[in-house]
Structure 1
Amino acid sequence: MSRMMAPPLPLVFLLMIHGVCSQWGGWSVSYSRSHICALQNSTVLMRCYYTHPTGHQIMKAFWTKTQINDNGEFPDLSDDPEYSRRLRFLGDKRISTVRLSHVTLKDEHMYYFRFITDQPGGNWIGRSGVTLNVTDLQVESPERVTEGDSVTLTCKSRCALTDRSTFIWFRNSLKILTESKPSHKLLLDPVRREDSGTYSCGVDGHTHISPDVQLNVMYRRVNPVISISPSGVIVEGDSVTLTCSDSNPPAEILWIKGGTIVGSGRVYSISNISSGDSGEYKCKSSDEHGEKYSDAVTLNVMYRRVNPVISISPSGVIVEGDSVTLTCSDSNPPAEILWIKGGTIVGSGRVYSISNISSGDSGEYKCKSSDEHGEKYSDAVTLNVMNPRGPGLLVWIVIAVACAIFTIIITIILYAM
C-alpha cells in the first residue's frame, strides 16, 4: 500500500494561518446559488450575503462578470451598455440582490459580487461566483407514429431549470388541457389520427415557446369516406369539392361516377357545377394492400330553367295505338306542372303519358310550371297521330283512277288511228 506524504510543516502553518484569517478577518461573500439555469427571455435573481470587519464603511458595492480587467479593476455591470437597461440592484447592507431581465444566450457567464470600503485595502470579491446558463426549449418527438401506439413528447432544455417550472403544451398553437399534472413530458396513449398536428411547449409564466414539431400519425381506414363541401344545397354555378379520406400515408385515389372514372387524387373539384354533374360518386383507394371503395354519395344539383321544355318519346312518326310520353323539364327541385291541350288542362306532373293513342289525341300541347317565383309556359309541341288504314286505301284509289285515265287515253289514241 502506498502512503500519502504529509505536507511540509511550513505549508501546514500557512494553511492554518489562511483559515484563521478567513474566519476571523470578517471578510466574506456567500452566494445563495452557485449555479442558475434560466429560460431565454426570463428574469434572473442573483443574491449573496457579505460581511466585512467592524470599522469599515461600504463605499461601493456592485456585481461584475470579470475578476479583473486590463487596468487591474473590476468593471461594474451597471456601466455596461448591454446590461444597464436590464439590470436592477436590490437588497440591504448585508444582502445584495441583482435582477437581470430578458436574458439571452449572450448572458451566459460567471458573475461575482464586489464591495469596497473606506479603509485602505478594504475591498473584497466573492471569487466562487454564480454561473448563469441560459436555455431554450425543444420538443423531442418520435419520427414515425402509428395509430394506437403509446407516444411520449418531451420538452427538453440544455440545462435543468433552477426554478420549479410548470410546463404547458400546445397543439396547432392552441393550449392543451391535460388530465395529468403538467410536466415536461406529454403522453398520448393511445395516439389517434386526430392527434396529428404541430406541437410546441413552454413554461407557465414565461413568453418563450419552443419551435413547432410536426407529429404525423399513420393510419389506414377500412374503407375510404367521402366528404362534400359545401355540405348544404348545391345550386347550378356553385363550386363543389369532394374529398376522399382513406389513409395516412394516402393511397392512389380514383373518382368514379356511374361506373366511369372522372378524376384522380384525394380531392375532386367541380367548378361552375351544372345539372349534368348530378349523380352518384365513389372514390377507390389502391395500394400494396389492395383496393377499397367508399360508399356512394349523391350530388343533386338544383337548377331552374327560364322556360320549361317538352320532350316527346318516341320522337318519330306517331301511329294510332302507340304509347307516347311527354316530359316537361323545368327545374330542380321540380315545380308544380300542368299539361294544357288547346286551352284545356288535360293532366299534371312532370310526365304526361298517352297509351293506345288515337287521332283524337292529335293537337298542340304545352306544360305550365308554377312555384313561389311565378308561372312559366313551354313552347307548344304538336302531336300528329297517323291512321295506318287511311293512307293505304287512298293510295289504291289514286292508283285505280290513274289506271282508268290511262286506259281511256290509250283507247282514244288507237281509235283515232
Structure 2
Amino acid sequence: MEGLLVSQTQKRKKNRKQSPCSSCRQRQRQSWSHSPSASPSPFPPRTPNGTAHSSNHHSSSHAQAHTHSYYSHNSNHHHSNSCPNRKKATGLAKRKAMKGQSPNRRKKRAATILSCWIQPTSAQGFTVVQTPATVKEGDNVILNIQGYTGSAREYVWYRKKSAQDPGRVKIVTFYSNHLYQSPSNIRQKVLANGSLIIPNLIVIDDGYYEVQINDSSSQILKGGAPLKVYENTLIKPTITIQSTGHIVENDSAVMSCNSKHKDLSQIRWYFQNKKLILNKRMSLPLNNQTLIIIPVMREDNGAYKCEVWNPFSASMSDLFKLTVCYGPEKITILPKHVHGQIEVLLNKKLILECQASSEPPAQYTWQVNGSSRAGNSGNIYAISKLSWGHSGTYTCMAMNSVINTAISKNIRVRVYEPSGGSIRGGDVVAGIVIGVLAGVALIVALIYYMVIGESSGE
C-alpha cells in the first residue's frame, strides 16, 4: 500500500510540472504551506481501479497533498485576470484534474484553462465622441473616450482618411503609468483618460481618428470617430456648362458649380432668384455639384445661380443665363386678315408685321409676288402710300441661323378706291378691254341693222 501511495505522489509531482499556468503552480506551492486544518477536498482520492481510499490508511502529510491539488486550489481562484504562461496541459494532467471534482467544478476549471489559452485581441467596449460636434478653422476640439472602465497601459491615436481606409498614420502614444505622451512637442495633446485634444484646427485635420487602447489585461480595444473641419470663408463659385455648341431643345443640359474648396457637399441651386425646385427632368448628382436636365425645354431658359455653404459661411455665384435654342414656329402676320387677305384703301399707308417664336430671335426677310425685297429685312414691312401696283402676295420668311431652321407665311393685299372702282391695275386694264370689246360689238350691231333696214326698204 505504501508503494502505491509513493507512486501516486510522484505522478502528482510530474503533473504539477506540466501545469499550463505558472501562477497556478505558485498558488499551489503557497497552498502546501497551509496548516493541516485547511478544508479537505469534498471527494477522497481514488485508486487506479476507481475505488475511493479511506483517509485512515494515509499519513497526515499524504492527506494534505491530496486536499490541495493544483486544480482544486485553482478552482477557488478562477476569477483572477492574470494568465501568464499558456502551456497546454497534457492528457494525463487533464484526466487527473477531472477526478475527484464535481461536474460544475470541472466546467469552471475547463473555462479557466481555456482563458489561459484564448485571449481577445480587440474589442469595442467604448465610444469616441467629438466635442463640440461642429467645428471650424481655429477652433479647439476634444475627441472624448466614453464608456471605457478598464485600466489602460497605453493610448495610441491614429489618423486616416476614413473608417474603411486600411492605412493609418500614428499621431501620438500616451503612457498611462507615467502620464507621458510621445512625441510631446506636437499640437495634439492626450488627457489622462486617453481623450485627444486638437487645438487651433486647420482644414487638413479632416479625417477619421482611431484610438487603440492597450490595457493591463493584455487586451487591445479600438474605437474612433470622424472629424470634419469647416472653412471660415468660402470663395465665390462659378457655373459652367458642359457643351460643345448651342443647347437645343430636347437635348440635354449639364451645368456644374465650381469652387476652389475641396468639399463641395454643401451646394444649393437657384433659378430666377428663387430656390430651384426640381422637376422630373432634373437631377443633382455628385453631391449637388452638377445640375442635369434631360431633356432640356424652352421653359428652362433663364438665370441660374449656385451657392456653396457650410454651418459657418456661404458664398453665391454670379448669374448664369441658360439659353435653349428652338424655333422658329407659330409664325403670324399682322394686321389681322380674313382667309389670308387684307384690303387697303388706295393712297393709304400699309404696315405688315411678322412674328415667330424662336430662340435666339428669328431673322426675317420679305418677298412680294415671289421677288425678294432687300430693303425690307426686318419683321416689319411698311409702304407709306399705296398705289394700284402694291396689290399682290406678300411672303414673310423667319429663320433661326443658329440651328438652321426656317418657316414662312403668305398674305394677299387688295388695294381699292372708296367709290368701289377698280382696285388693282389689272382690273383697270380688264375694264378697258371689256369696254373696247363692247363698243366694237355695238358698232357691228348698228352696221348690221343699217344694212338690213336698207335691204327691206328697197
TM-score calculated relative to the size of structure 1: 0.41
Higher strand fraction (1 or 2): 1
Higher helix fraction (1 or 2): 2
